[in-house]
């Protein structure tokens, strides 16, 4: 295997993306430099009070109608059942707390061992986390809100209880594991209103969590009580967290552009950058000039220009020229912009920032117009511009129209060859293909694997602690399919 490593700035990007507190210099290989400290997801070293209450009501979209299971009313567990514990990891549907869909480690696809788990309902969301050197935990939320969990140890799958047992399936779940091996979902219910919170909780590395309530307020919750910040937040905004416990989210819902690609309101006028220490306060607000808006509910907060600092990546749209990709600094300066599509009501789906070519240049992987014969694009910065290479390969459906699941693709070294791939579903959602960028105008599919049905969940992946990637999806035939290294 060829020796290859990231420069220190890229190691910092990947570590911060995965929520790693300690950073090391670049090692001999991608495996040692990225995965040795990662253990995949965020590591928490302090005692954290589990703040997991549920969203009231039962919702859902897309696949919910495909199951005949009766509606489930989510139930919040008594706080006496949620003792103070030490959290060891937290997992999101978008993999990294900075919104960058990237995973460290080396996979064994397409020749991995396939493990199929039968479910008694259609899966909606999938989360995974490492529990020990031999075990990973896989938690699936079904379309009717029921929550099922499994421990994977080699080829064995062992059912485990997840608390709570039901949630509102319309909200993306957040998974936490504690040092006793227990698994929790950290979805928040706003006890002040019957309709509950509009976002799931993000967990900070101290005894705090954050969510948006139904009035658009940012709530920072801790044992000491709640801090509230009136932001007029986008109802379904994704809250991102960095290593300094600062937050990034979308605000000021807009009606000046009617192209809503997600389920519910996904048009915002502003990006808000928030500090949580020593108090909850706005650091910077980036506002879009009319008629432009930010389209989508998820930002990417990652280093795009290779200087070791996080940048803010957004999709900006208007009704005349459609969408364009833009990169801002945390101070609000526009660093680079891509060319607009040129036609109104056309969208870019931004997926991940990674060094897809072995030159270590940061690139942004995107699907242009994913709902109408999408094209896979890889953007890099040249001066004030984002320049792209692209290819239409039949593996471009990162997102279904009107769905709120924008996490159906993931970046990583899924075949262990030291090159990053973009793992994306085919146009019929029955296969996952590995798309690689080899050079100028050279974008290719390397291989594909069968899903076992139509993809219904996000793509989830976990590093087992020894550098091996384990990848999983949920599909329409009421099952989970997991790929693991056959040497494990």
Query: Phi and psi at residue 325, in whole multiples of 5°?
Result: -90, 140
Residues in the chain, overall count: 488
Top-confidence residue, 317 or 195: 317
Q: Exposure pattern of 165-201 as b/e (b: 16+ CB <10 Å)?
A: bbbbbbbbbbbbbbeeebbbbbbbbbeeeeebbbbbb
**Separation between Cα atoms, residue 397 and residue 377, nearest integer Å:** 13
- The rounded distance, in Å, linking the Cα atoms of 137 and 256 is 43
pTM of the model: 0.82
425 pairs with which residues across the strands?
A: 432
pLDDT for 208 equals: 86
Q: Tell me the pLDDT tens digit for each residue of 167-223.
A: 888 888 999 998 888 999 987 655 444 445 667 789 887 678 899 988 899 999 888
What does the pLDDT read at residue 73? 43
pLDDT at 168: 86
Q: CA–CA separation, 381 vs 374, rounded Å?
A: 22
Predicted local distance difference test score (pLDDT) of residue 335: 97
Nearest to 455 by CA among 399, 414, 415: 399
- Model pLDDT for residues 441-466, shown as the tens digit of each residue: 899 999 999 999 999 999 999 999 88
DSSP string, 155-180: TEEEEE--BSSB--TTSPPEEEEETT
166 within 8 A of 74, measured Cβ to Cβ: yes
The mean pLDDT of 100-104, rounded to a whole number, is 95
Q: Which two tokens stand for residue 278?
A: 């020593």
Place of tokens 């939320």: 141
Residue 148's H or E segment, with its range, is strand 147-153
Summarize pLDDT for 235-257 with one digit per residue, the tens.
889 999 999 999 999 999 987 86
Q: Of 49-53, 143-147, 322-326, which has the strongest mean pLDDT?
A: 143-147
Range 157-162 average pLDDT: 96
pLDDT for residue 71 is more than 50: no
Cβ partners under 8 Å of residue 235, min gap 6: 198, 199, 212, 214, 216, 253, 264, 265
Nearest Cα to 321, choosing from 292, 351, 297, 300?
Answer: 292
Q: What is the maximal distance between C-alpha atoms in the chain?
A: 58
Strand bridging mode 174-178 / 156-160: unpaired
* pLDDT of the residue at 446: 95
Q: What is the rounded CA–CA span in Å between residue 234 and residue 217?
A: 10
Where do the DSSP E strands lie in 341-399? Answer: 348-354, 363-368, 375-382, 385-391
């Amino acid at each position: 295997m060829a020796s290859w490593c990231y420069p220190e700035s890229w190691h910092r990007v990947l570590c911060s993306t995965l929520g790693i507190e300690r950073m090391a210099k670049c090692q001999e290989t991608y495996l040692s430099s990225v995965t040795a400290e990662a253990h995949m997801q965020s590591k928490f070293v302090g005692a954290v009070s589990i703040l997991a209450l549920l969203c009231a009501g039962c919702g859902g979209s897309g696949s919910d109608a495909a199951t005949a299971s009766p509606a489930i009313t989510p139930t919040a567990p008594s706080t006496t059942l949620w003792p103070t514990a030490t959290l060891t990891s937290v997992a999101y549907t978008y993999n990294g707390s900075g919104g960058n869909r990237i995973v460290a480690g080396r996979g064994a696809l397409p020749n991995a061992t396939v493990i199929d788990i039968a479910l008694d309902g259609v899966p909606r969301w999938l989360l995974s986390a490492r529990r020990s050197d031999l075990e990973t935990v896989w938690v699936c939320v079904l379309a009717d809100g029921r929550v099922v969990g499994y421990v994977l140890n080699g080829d064995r799958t062992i059912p485990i209880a997840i608390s709570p047992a039901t949630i509102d399936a319309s909200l993306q779940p957040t998974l936490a594991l504690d040092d006793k091996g227990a698994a929790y979902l950290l979805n928040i219910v706003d006890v002040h209103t019957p309709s509950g919170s509009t976002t799931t909780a993000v967990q900070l590395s101290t005894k705090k969590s954050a969510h948006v309530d139904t009035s658009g307020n940012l709530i920072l919750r801790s044992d000491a009580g709640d801090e509230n910040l009136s932001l007029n937040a986008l109802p379904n905004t994704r809250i991102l967290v960095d290593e300094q416990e600062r937050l990034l989210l979308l605000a000021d819902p807009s009606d000046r552009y009617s192209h809503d690609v997600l389920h519910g309101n996904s048009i915002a006028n502003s990006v808000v950058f928030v500090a949580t220490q020593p108090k909850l306060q706005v650091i910077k607000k980036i506002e879009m000039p009319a008629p432009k808006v930010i389209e989508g509910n998820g930002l990417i907060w990652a280093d795009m220009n290779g200087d070791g600092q996080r940048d803010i990546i957004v999709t900006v749209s208007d009704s005349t020229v459609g969408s364009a990709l833009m990169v801002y600094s945390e101070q609000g300066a526009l660093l680079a912009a891509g060319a607009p599509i040129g036609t109104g009501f056309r969208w870019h789906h931004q997926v991940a920032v990674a060094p897809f070519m072995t030159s270590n240049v940061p690139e942004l992987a995107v699907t242009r117009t994913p709902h109408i014969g999408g094209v896979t694009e890889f953007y890099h910065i040249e001066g004030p511009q984002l320049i792209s290479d692209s290819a239409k390969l039949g593996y471009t459906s990162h997102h279904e129209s009107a769905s709120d699941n924008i996490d159906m693709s993931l970046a990583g070294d899924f075949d262990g060859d030291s090159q990053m791939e973009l793992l994306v579903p085919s146009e019929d959602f029955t296969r996952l293909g590995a798309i690689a960028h080899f050079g100028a105008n050279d974008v290719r599919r390397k291989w594909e694997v069968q899903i076992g049905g139509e993809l219904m969940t996000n793509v989830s992946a976990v590093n087992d602690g020894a550098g091996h990637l384990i990848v999983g999806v949920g599909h329409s035939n009421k099952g989970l399919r997991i790929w693991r290294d056959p040497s494990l």
